[in-house]
Structure 1
Amino acid sequence: MRAPLSRKENSNILREIGTPKTVPVSEYRASDRQPLESSAAARVMGPVEEVYHALVTGTRDYIRKSGFSKALIGLSGGIDSALTATVAADALGKENVVGVTMPSRYSSEGSVSDSRELADNLGIECWVVPIEPAHLAFTDMLEPYFEGTTANVAEENVQARIRGNVLMTISNKFGWIVLTTGNKSEMAMGYATLYGDMAGGFAVIKDVPKTLVYDLCRWRNEKHGGRPGNKPPIPEAIINKPPSAELRPDQLDEDTLPPYEKLDPIVRAYVEEDYSYQEMVEMGHDPAAVRQVISFVDRNEYKRRQAPPGVKITPRAFGKDRRLPIVNRYRPV
């Protein structure tokens, strides 16, 4: 085998090593240059304000760069759709946002009235499209095949999928982008309906935990409300009502999920900080809630892979930040 060639030393380079050199880049000497004008330092924002501006900027950039001029949002009368609509109005202008409320047989009176009040406060257009005729058609169509079975989440999700179809049909007709309204807590737990409330082109708050959704709504109201002739955009009734999907009588999110103030810290510890079951229990979290979060987060990866993109505001968002197999048989607890 031939031996490697020895490196040829360059005597000029060796002499220059360690010797400081001055390289002229203009006719001015360094001492002759005028100092640059110092610009005012950027204002330091609080964490909630910073997230809100990130949502507005990210939403505006994505929609404009994608070639859309208007956005369409399903208004449920709940806090998630209220925040999404408010961010969209701030990002695009009130004239470029349309809200659609789609009441069903299980919708509360407030779901329509609160949505209309929100739209009035924001100055956006609001359409009311009742889905009961389509809901009846679906249940009648499937009745022969569902006979003898107990109604469950399948029948509940028919309503969400009808709403998704309504929004996507309007989008298809007018060329407006649909903004989905699910938050990070729901996406973590799979508390969303494929081809229903997950249907859309951009997910504004998909990386925003539910507890932060409340903080953002309160900040937006406090920051921009109270001026003469300027009502806070998000009605207090929306902020104060218990979270509910309203797909069955008297339904509440807490029927299925732990309370959000208990859920969000566990999701953060597991998804963003990689803590194990044992470590989270030692931190003081409820063991049953920890097991539920780990189980639900892991088995709903397939749903999240089908969700639209959204703004990243946490250290680790679902998607490119958290690369896991869609399905696997490993169970840590």
Structure 2
Amino acid sequence: KAEYRRTLIQSQSARTVCAYLYADACRDESTQDLVFASHNIICENGVILAQSELFSQNNAVLADVDIERLNQERRRTTTFAQCAAGSNEVPFRRIQIDFSPVTLCGKNAGLLRFVDPHPFVPEGETERAVRCRQVIELQAQGLAKRLRHIHAQSAVIGLSGGLDSTLAFLVTCKAFDMCGIDRKGICAVTMPCFGTTDRTYSNAVSLANECGATLREIPIADSVRLHFKDIGQDENVHDVTYENCQARERTQVLMDIANKLNGIVIGTGDLSELALGWCTYNGDQMSMYGVNVSVPKTLVRYLVAWFCDDLKNQNEKLSAVLRDILDTPVSPELLPPENGKISQKTENLVGPYELHDFYLYYLLRFGFSPAKILYLADCSNLPYDHDFKLKWLRTFYRRFFSQQFKRSCMPDGVKVGTVSLSPRGDWRMPSDASAAVWLEEIDRLS
């Protein structure tokens, strides 16, 4: 009955959004007719936090129950609220709980539960492969539905040779296969400019050719220089205008090609970039359908790796290209290279994506405060010290609030996980919301 018992307890705790503590009789109870398993379980909202081994001698189990997490879940779960409406008629029995720190052997036990440093990415290889397959299927199904709905036979995508555009391109190929549309209808456009390196250019070209898409190369340097002249921008001044002019020129090219082909522009930006606002407003922020909009950067890498492993026995050349893309530093490539190599590395500018994705998950999924998120980060095995995490936590909140205006008008895109920043359902936030309260709390953590 062990598995059945676990299922019952998980189901009940999930249904009532509560913590469920199951205390079993121990193995030393009477065995006249049956044997008790000493199976003790602590479950929180459908997730088993701790359980004893069956028939163990020392069967006490200990775990942390996150009360705030349960309260947040109850606030957002409408079915629970409806059931709780008549709770005045229910004779609850209230039990007082001591919330002082747990001590073991006279010492503060600290946090006992496991805090996953990569909450968007399953830890086990088998489970991770299943998750990747499911996410890719959802992305492709979402795009396939849109293609069928508008009777499109073509799609346009800017292919940079980076992770995000690679994933969006591979998903587009899968969607075209689902719809029975020739992949030649996928117009992959590479638009080299001031920051493009030979490595990313070569990978973009190889990727399009190996997948059977139609490749177009449109250098945009001359167009951008003409635009600089029109607006009075000095090409030697590498400021935000210098960078954004390139991003917007690329978007204009893609949109106009889509009009000519009677197709749609596939967006490549991911969830982490939208959270940080690491995109150009009316540039790469805009498309006609975004397939990566709810995929965090930490998961993007594993999704591309899944394609790489899946294709290695079918097309070793394509698999090799994907491996090289996985090894390429994340960069928008808007600043000139140094010695032929990428000079603008995103994580040097905005911080490690594994940190930002950790912060993003606990903010969006549970609405935790900066203090609690930092505490959880410190309890995880993220490879950074406290001050480093605090520094980028401030950056995360500052950017997250200030960049909402970009998310308020983001294109349609399929939701593939538990969190999304869509302004039409999952994340309703005013563009002029103030981060002051959150930043003040972070200052107190210093």
Following superposition, the deviation at residue 295 of structure 1 comes to 1.6
Question: Structure 1 residue 321 and structure 2 residue 408: aligned?
Answer: no
- Pick which of 222-231 and 121-130 moved more: 222-231
Q: Distance in 2 between matches of 1:130 and 1:276?
A: 46
1:125 maps to which residue?
A: 214
Question: Structure 1 residue 46 and structure 2 residue 130: aligned?
Answer: yes
SS at match of 2:319: coil
SS at match of 2:280: coil
Match of 2:266 among 179, 201, 216: 179
Question: Structure 1 residue 169 and structure 2 residue 256: aligned?
Answer: yes
Q: Is the 8 A contact 2:290 2:413 kept in 1?
A: yes
1:81 maps to which residue?
A: 165
Counterpart amino acid of residue 310 in structure 1: G
Counterpart amino acid of residue 130 in structure 2: G
Q: Distance in 2 between matches of 1:322 and 1:86?
A: 28
Match of 2:153 among 62, 69, 77: 69
2:409 maps to which residue?
A: 306
1:260 maps to which residue?
A: 353
Q: Is the 8 A contact 2:304 2:322 kept in 1?
A: no
Alpha-carbon distance change, 155 to 267 in structure 1, aligned in 2, over 3 angstroms: same
1:280 maps to which residue?
A: 373
Following superposition, the deviation at residue 150 of structure 1 comes to 5.2
SS at match of 1:254: helix
Q: Distance in 2 between matches of 1:283 and 1:137?
A: 50
Counterpart amino acid of residue 191 in structure 2: M
Q: Is the 8 A contact 1:211 1:260 kept in 2?
A: yes
Contiguous gaps of at least 5 residues in structure 1: 1-43
Q: Is the 8 A contact 2:401 2:434 kept in 1?
A: no
SS at match of 1:73: strand
SS at match of 2:151: coil
Q: TM-score, normalization: structure 2?
A: 0.61
Following superposition, the deviation at residue 272 of structure 1 comes to 2.3
Following superposition, the deviation at residue 228 of structure 1 comes to 6.7
Following superposition, the deviation at residue 326 of structure 1 comes to 2.1
Question: Structure 1 residue 202 and structure 2 residue 289: aligned?
Answer: yes
Q: Distance in 2 between matches of 1:261 and 1:271?
A: 15
Alpha-carbon distance change, 207 to 233 in structure 1, aligned in 2, over 3 angstroms: farther
Following superposition, the deviation at residue 212 of structure 1 comes to 0.5
2:88 maps to which residue?
A: none
Alpha-carbon distance change, 91 to 75 in structure 1, aligned in 2, over 3 angstroms: same
SS at match of 1:98: strand
Q: Is the 8 A contact 1:180 1:202 kept in 2?
A: yes
2:46 maps to which residue?
A: none
What are the superposed Cα offsets for residues 226-276 of structure 1, whole Å, 9 maximum, x if unpaired? 137784385322111000101113111023211112221111111222111
Q: Distance in 1 between matches of 2:184 and 2:333?
A: 29
Counterpart amino acid of residue 66 in structure 1: I
Question: Structure 1 residue 226 and structure 2 residue 313: aligned?
Answer: yes
Following superposition, the deviation at residue 66 of structure 1 comes to 2.6
SS at match of 1:284: helix
Question: Structure 1 residue 235 and structure 2 residue 322: aligned?
Answer: yes
Structure with bigger RCO (C-alpha 8 Å, 6+ apart): 1
Q: Is the 8 A contact 1:74 1:102 kept in 2?
A: yes
Match of 1:136 among 221, 225, 228: 225
Q: Distance in 2 between matches of 1:232 and 1:241?
A: 14
Contiguous gaps of at least 5 residues in structure 2: 1-126, 178-182, 337-342, 379-388, 440-446
Following superposition, the deviation at residue 330 of structure 1 comes to 4.8
**Aligned counterparts, 1:143-162, within 5 A:** 143=232, 146=233, 151-162=238-249
Q: Distance in 1 between matches of 2:192 and 2:159?
A: 10
2:299 maps to which residue?
A: 212
SS at match of 1:256: helix
Q: Distance in 1 between matches of 2:215 and 2:246?
A: 20
2:396 maps to which residue?
A: 293
Q: Distance in 2 between matches of 1:234 and 1:219?
A: 13
Question: Structure 1 residue 98 and structure 2 residue 203: aligned?
Answer: no
Q: Distance in 2 between matches of 1:111 and 1:151?
A: 21
Q: Distance in 1 between matches of 2:277 and 2:302?
A: 23
Q: Distance in 1 between matches of 2:221 and 2:259?
A: 22
Q: Distance in 2 between matches of 1:161 and 1:268?
A: 30
Q: Is the 8 A contact 1:184 1:205 kept in 2?
A: yes
Q: Distance in 1 between matches of 2:275 and 2:133?
A: 24
CA RMSD in angstroms, aligned pairs only: 2.1
Counterpart amino acid of residue 169 in structure 2: A
Following superposition, the deviation at residue 69 of structure 1 comes to 1.8
Question: Structure 1 residue 56 and structure 2 residue 140: aligned?
Answer: yes
1:115 maps to which residue?
A: 204
SS at match of 1:198: coil
Q: Distance in 1 between matches of 2:315 and 2:329?
A: 30
SS at match of 1:232: helix
Q: Is the 8 A contact 2:292 2:413 kept in 1?
A: yes
Q: Is the 8 A contact 2:207 2:318 kept in 1?
A: no
Following superposition, the deviation at residue 328 of structure 1 comes to 2.1
Following superposition, the deviation at residue 114 of structure 1 comes to 0.7
Q: Distance in 1 between matches of 2:140 and 2:321?
A: 16
What are the superposed Cα offsets for residues 295-315 of structure 1, whole Å, 9 maximum, x if unpaired? 211111110112111110121
Aligned pairs, how many? 288
Q: Is the 8 A contact 1:117 1:235 kept in 2?
A: no
Following superposition, the deviation at residue 120 of structure 1 comes to 1.7
SS at match of 2:258: helix
